Amino acid sequence: MPIYAYRCDECGFAKDVLQKVSDPQLTDCPSCGKSSFKKQVTAAGFQLKGTGWYVTDFRGGSGGTSAPATTAESPAAAPAPTLAPASE
């Protein structure tokens, strides 16, 4: 479940709330009781780093081993395919 940051426009009370995505947005401030409690826009709390994972990493019942990482070649670095002349 994501953590949402809320702040009251009236009294300035701020709180982080653990909510489901499907839960309704909170509107009543727990501090002053007014309906000016609004969700704030915040930065993501995680970073994606590394080579990632593949759908094949968790297949097979080998128990904890992952597929070896592969490096993708850019199309410019790959050799051009050779075409055979058309036979008549």
Task: Evaluate if residue 83 carries a pLDDT over 80.
Answer: no
Residue 65 Cα distances to 48, 61, 72, angstroms:
21, 9, 21
Query: What pLDDT is stored for residue 69 in this prediction?
Result: 58
**Which domain covers residue 25, as residue numbers?**
3-39
Query: What pLDDT is stored for residue 27 in this prediction?
Result: 94
Name the 3-class secondary structure at 83: coil
In a domain, 46, yes or no: no
Beta bridge partners of 7: 14, 38
In a domain, 26, yes or no: yes
Number of domains comprising the chain: 1
Instruction: Note the pLDDT tens digit of each residue in 5-58.
Output: 999 999 999 999 999 989 999 999 999 999 999 999 887 777 777 777 766 666
In a domain, 35, yes or no: yes
In a domain, 57, yes or no: no
Task: Evaluate if residue 84 carries a pLDDT over 90.
Answer: no
